A and B are shown apart, each in its own frame.
Chain A
Amino acid sequence: MACDEFEVKILEGLDGRLAEEERRLLDKHLLSCSACRAFQEAQTALDRTLAAKLGHPSVVPRFSREILRRLELEERGAQTLSISDLLDLAGAGGAAAALGLSLYLFVPWPEKNDPAFTLVLVWISTAACAAAGIWALASGRGRTAQL
């Protein structure tokens, strides 16, 4: 067996993974090879230092609580409509409706008495309300997500 192979055995020995027969062979080789003995000494010192200093890093005590808190926030955000969502929707929709009604009442439209014109205006106002509501909902959730 060459020194390269004994190096592997030296490391396995440090890790407690050497069979009795392999250990016997290694010990015999070490008696006659100063280079392998030096390698073993260096690796033993390194192993001791790394084992002592690297240790077993652990999470902080609040780790699991923090995950569950984030989970709850996420689930709350995923509900179909929260109170703040409803407020966003109502506010934006109401503002759009008020604007549409004002336009209808206070602008002297020439076709005001035409039922078709009124129908188109109602349709446009409804679409504007819906768009404003969706926009408000999306931007409100965007703000929440950034928190």
Chain B
Amino acid sequence: MDQATDQDVQQLLDGGRRREAFERLIEQYQNKVFRLCFSILGDEAAAEDAAQDSFLKAWRGLPGFRGDAALPTWLYSIARNTCLTWSQRGTARAQEPLTEGAAASRSIAIDDSLDVHAAIAGLPRHYRQALLLFYFEDKSYEEVAAMLDLPLRTVKTYLHRARKELAASLTSKPTEAGHGLR
């Protein structure tokens, strides 16, 4: 998170330069908001549209933004709500994210014979979101916690379980019992 930029945006807002503040906001947070939407919706095109919608909502809300919450916190909250609305409308394949078509360019494989896409898609929604954001955001627990509005401890738990489940589903041969690697 870039506090200097957040202060710049706040100063621009205070100075009545809403358009400049908005452009600065997009510049600073476009990728993060997009990744957050992608982790929730699991579809690049839908994530891009939802991210755009989120910024437009932010534009409408900017005059009322008084800095009670940190700027990214406020923006991520808008993005999460936007994605929730998208999911409820059924405009995104929220229930089946990261399918072959959704992220073909992001294919991953530990073993060529195993389908990592399916393994990630098969994770519980919260684990999957945390895992994707974790790798998108340079393995920062704090960033994932901020983006998903979760306590740090919860993020760690989700990541631990996600990685255990993923390894278990991707490991073709069972290893020693008692360690979750079936």
CB-defined contacts of B23 to chain A, threshold 8 Å:
64, 68
B106 contact from A39, A53, A59, Cβ within 8 A: A53
Q: Is the Cβ of A63 less than 8 Å from the Cβ of B34?
A: yes
Interface string of A43-68 (1 = CB under 8 A from B): 10111011111111111100110111
Q: Is the Cβ of B52 less than 8 Å from the Cβ of A49?
A: no
Assuming the contacts A39-B179, A43-B167, A46-B166, asked whether A57 and B38 have C-beta atoms less than 8 A apart, the reply is yes
Asked if A35 CB lies within 8 Å of chain B CBs, one says yes
Pick the interface stretch among A3-11, A79-87, A118-126, A131-139.
Answer: A3-11
Assuming the contacts A50-B108, A57-B38, asked whether A38 and B179 have C-beta atoms less than 8 A apart, the reply is yes
Q: Is the Cβ of A59 less than 8 Å from the Cβ of B30?
A: yes
Total interface residues on B, CB under 8 Å, equals: 45
- Give the complex CA separation of A63 and B59 in angstroms: 15
> In terms of DSSP, what is the predominant structure of the interface of chain A?
helix
CB-defined contacts of A63 to chain B, threshold 8 Å:
26, 30, 34, 48, 51-52
Q: Is the Cβ of A54 less than 8 Å from the Cβ of B176?
A: no
Assuming the contacts A54-B106, A54-B136, asked whether A66 and B163 have C-beta atoms less than 8 A apart, the reply is no
Q: Which residue of A lies closest to B109 (CB)?
A: A49
Assuming the contacts A42-B171, A46-B170, asked whether A53 and B107 have C-beta atoms less than 8 A apart, the reply is yes
- Give the complex CA separation of A50 and B138 in angstroms: 11
- Give the complex CA separation of A17 and B116 in angstroms: 26
Within 8 A of B (CB), among A7-52: 7-8, 11, 15-17, 34-36, 38-39, 42-43, 45-47, 49-52
A59 contact from B22, B48, B56, B178, Cβ within 8 A: B48
Q: Is the Cβ of B26 less than 8 Å from the Cβ of A67?
A: yes
Asked if A112 CB lies within 8 Å of chain B CBs, one says no
- Give the complex CA separation of A94 and B59 in angstroms: 38
Asked if B175 CB lies within 8 Å of chain A CBs, one says yes
Within 8 A of A (CB), among B54-110: 55-56, 59, 106-110
Q: Is the Cβ of A8 less than 8 Å from the Cβ of B171?
A: no
CB-defined contacts of A16 to chain B, threshold 8 Å:
139
List the 7 shortest-distance A-B pairs measured between CB atoms, nearest first. Answer: A53-B108, A54-B135, A35-B176, A38-B175, A42-B167, A35-B179, A59-B34
- Measured CB to CB, the residues of B under 8 A from A are 22-23, 26-27, 30-31, 34-35, 38, 44, 48, 51-52, 55-56, 59, 106-110, 116, 131-132, 135-139, 141, 156, 159-160, 163-164, 166-167, 170-171, 175-176, 178-181
